[in-house]
Chains A and B, each alone.
Chain A
Amino acid sequence: MTEPLYYFIQQLLNGLTVGSTYALIAIGYTMVYGIIGMINFAHGEVYMIGSYIAFIVLAALALLGLDSLALMLIGAFAISMIVTSAYGFSIERVAYRPLRGGNRLIPLISAIGMSIFLQNVVRLAQGSRDIAMPSLITGGWSIGPEEGFHATLSYMQLVIFIVTFITMTALTLFISRSRMGRACRACAEDIKMTNLLGINTNNVIALTFVIGAALAAVAGVLLSLYYGVINPYIGFMAGLKAFTAAVLGGIGSIPGAVLGGLLLGVTEAITAGYFSTEYKDVVAFSLLILILLFRPTGILGRPEVEKV
């Protein structure tokens, strides 16, 4: 009798796992948008690069024989975050900074170009084949009866929840408590005014890109550990989904990105679980359209004030 319940729990857990990773990537979109009002389409590629670096670090550590789990995780996270930060920083410097202040569409096209460029850099450097790695963290708990259907929660899923939660908390604290966080919020409010107040807005914007990229690396490492397969094209779809999540939650709002990501993930899992896997993207996008019809600025987005 409880089978439908456990099935629902299982799909919910599946959805939350996928949703957490959407959320991590979505934050990068939302932060950049909140501050300079542009869609950073190359963000998905930063996530992809983060995954590659994680693979390289893990493979290198394994080859050196340093296979303690803690060391591998710390190494992968640290190095991957450093490298993607460099990418976030450089992308902003090269492709967006010269275009700031003009029409909003210009940086969008530049970002699409950057995205194609990065995809191909990785393809040329690392080949286009799928690269796979065995799971490092295996096992899990089962929830429910021994006989019949029971839900499972793997340790890796738990790791994803925990890391996502810690990262989100740290970011929220950073934004709300630190000096730089205050500068970020000021920039989001009014970038010209902030500049007049003696804050180096260039640095703030660069920092936004760096933080967004570092979070994409966190997602990259987690997902490489969870799925264990990467290729140079994974960034595109992940970026698209994360972007959708960011808009769903109200672009520019960090809690919104988290909420949007989780909602999107759960919607997909529930659709696939109760209806059909083929239509999960259709349902996800339809949900987005529906929500935007009733809340035109997303779930947690601030209503835009029309200014003359």
Chain B
Amino acid sequence: MNKATKHVSKLFAAMALAGMASYSVAADTIKIAMAGPVTGAVAQYGDMQFIGAKMAIEQINKAGGVNGAQLEGVVYDDACDPKQAVAVANKIVNDGVQFVVGHLCSSSTQPASDIYEDEGILMITAASTSPEITARGYQLVFRTIGLDSLQGPTAGKYIAEQVKPKNIAVVHDKQQYGEGIATAVKQTVEAAGYKVALFEGVTAGDKDFSALIAKLKRQNVDFVYYGGYHPELGLILRQAKEQGLNAKFMGPEGVGNADISAIAGEASEGMLVTLPKAFDEDPKNAHLVEAFKAKKEDPSGPFVFPAYAAVQVIAEGIQKAGSTDTDKVAEAIRSTSFDTPTGTLAFDEKGDLKDFSFVVYQWHANGTKTALGE
């Protein structure tokens, strides 16, 4: 190729870039895309993320914004459908948004993050816990929630060292989140010398688990770990009690909200849950909880505060970097720590939280919990 054509094509490329860039030079608002399910079967978890992120944006704006600029949250609905997530990601690129809080489902986050990394968009997920997401050496992908691979061992160790059950069963909901944690728990307890009597998946969205419970009962299982979310475990607890299965149950943070007690009632008493520290019960966050309650929103979901923290990390990252250049912001995020409602957050090279510890709680039938410590 000769020099002249090279020149021309460079010019074209430059024009194209300039055309794109002109979108993002909006004067004094910084757009933050909130991507997650507004519709679809998991919309309830999307809600948790949205109310958290919106609250953060509102409060940061009230406090004067970021470097004089106001934040503007834009909701993008991916319905937790990977296909729509890619379309949403491309739309976000197109709209010139440079910061994303989301997505929710790991299966949406993964393909979308490919695009963000390519396009220099900074993404912080507040809910996707699959280890795969940050394991690909991406520079602009962060998360403000712990990994499945972290939570599983915590639970497994607690089972092996504290509970010491005779007969363990591990059940999961055949979804990325649930099966990931369940597998980690199984490996940990097996490493500690226990035998897992039953490792089985159920269908998320099912209502009837009586067949599974009869099976557990027959095998004299006295401890069940469930990897998944609260609607299924709630029903399992409820039906287990009706069928007279005497076993202790344990689950990850996906089951740890008051709804499980609403579903299972008395049967949820004594269940064990690994949770990040309960943010909404931290006295430090009392004013935030009040603010949510004033808007008639429920701050108890597991993703509300991580989403709040994600927005805050972006805002403070921009402030520290002094620009909205995402590479610089990412550098700023990696180099400092943030004082957020979910604790002091610091990020490692991969973009994960440096220490995000899970605590084992005992659940009570009225929807409250007590920490059991180590």
Contact = CB atoms under 8 A, between A and B. Distances in A.
B208 interface: yes
A233 B200 CA distance: 24
Contacts of B212: 272, 277
Given A15-B211, A17-B210, A140 B242 contact: yes
B238 interface: yes
A215 interface: no
Interface string B79-112: 0000000000000000000000000000000000
- From A3, A17, A229, A273, residue with most partner B Cβ within 10 Å: A229
A56 to B, nearest CB: 16
Contacts of B214: 7, 10-11, 14, 151, 273
B259 A129 contact: yes
Contact of A231 (B200, B203, B211, B231): B231
Contacts of A151: 214
A281 interface: yes
A17 B218 CA distance: 20
A14 B210 contact: yes
A233 B207 CA distance: 12
A281 B242 contact: no
Nearest to B209: A277
B215 A273 contact: yes
Interface stretch (A35-43, A130-138, A174-182): A130-138
Interface in A149-199: 149, 151-152, 154, 156
Nearest to A276: B200
Contact of A128 (B44, B205, B210): B44
Interface string A263-275: 0000011101100
B243 interface: yes
B160 interface: no
B353 interface: no
A297 interface: no
Interface string A119-151: 010010001111011110010101000000101
Contact of B200 (A142, A223, A237, A277): A277
A227 B235 contact: yes
Interface residues of A, number: 44
Nearest to B174: A278
Contact of B263 (A3, A127, A130, A268): A130
Given A120-B39, A128-B43, A278-B174, A134 B211 contact: no
Contacts, number: 101
B242 A11 contact: no
Interface residues of B, number: 33
B211 A268 contact: yes
Contact of B244 (A17, A152, A227): A152
B69 interface: no
Contacts of B39: 120, 123
Contact of A134 (B200, B215, B244, B265): B265
A276 B172 CA distance: 13
B217 interface: yes
Contact of A130 (B44, B201, B210, B217): B44
A262 B234 CA distance: 26
B69 to A, nearest CB: 33
Interface in A89-137: 120, 123, 127-130, 132-135
A296 interface: no
A135 B242 CA distance: 10
Nearest to B41: A233
Interface in B195-254: 200-203, 205-208, 210-212, 214-215, 217-218, 230-231, 234-235, 238, 242-244
Contacts of B47: 128-129
A17 B240 CA distance: 16
B236 to A, nearest CB: 11
Nearest to A234: B207
Contact of B259 (A130, A138, A227): A130
B262 to A, nearest CB: 4
B237 to A, nearest CB: 11
B205 A237 contact: yes
B10 to A, nearest CB: 49
A108 B212 CA distance: 35
B283 to A, nearest CB: 27
A18 B235 CA distance: 14
B242 A233 contact: no
Contacts of A142: 244
Contact of B235 (A15, A229, A269): A229
Given A14-B211, A156-B242, 13 more contacts: A14-B210, A17-B210, A130-B231, A132-B262, A140-B242, A149-B217, A154-B242, A229-B234, A231-B44, A233-B41, A234-B205, A268-B211, A277-B203
Interface of A: 3, 7, 10-11, 14-15, 17-18, 120, 123, 127-130, 132-135, 138, 140, 142, 149, 151-152, 154, 156, 223, 227-229, 231, 233-234, 237, 268-270, 272-273, 276-278, 280-281
16 contacts: A17-B210, A123-B39, A129-B47, A130-B44, A130-B231, A130-B259, A133-B262, A134-B262, A135-B238, A152-B242, A156-B242, A227-B207, A227-B235, A227-B238, A229-B231, A229-B234
Interface of B: 39, 41, 43-44, 47, 174, 200-203, 205-208, 210-212, 214-215, 217-218, 230-231, 234-235, 238, 242-244, 259, 262-263, 265
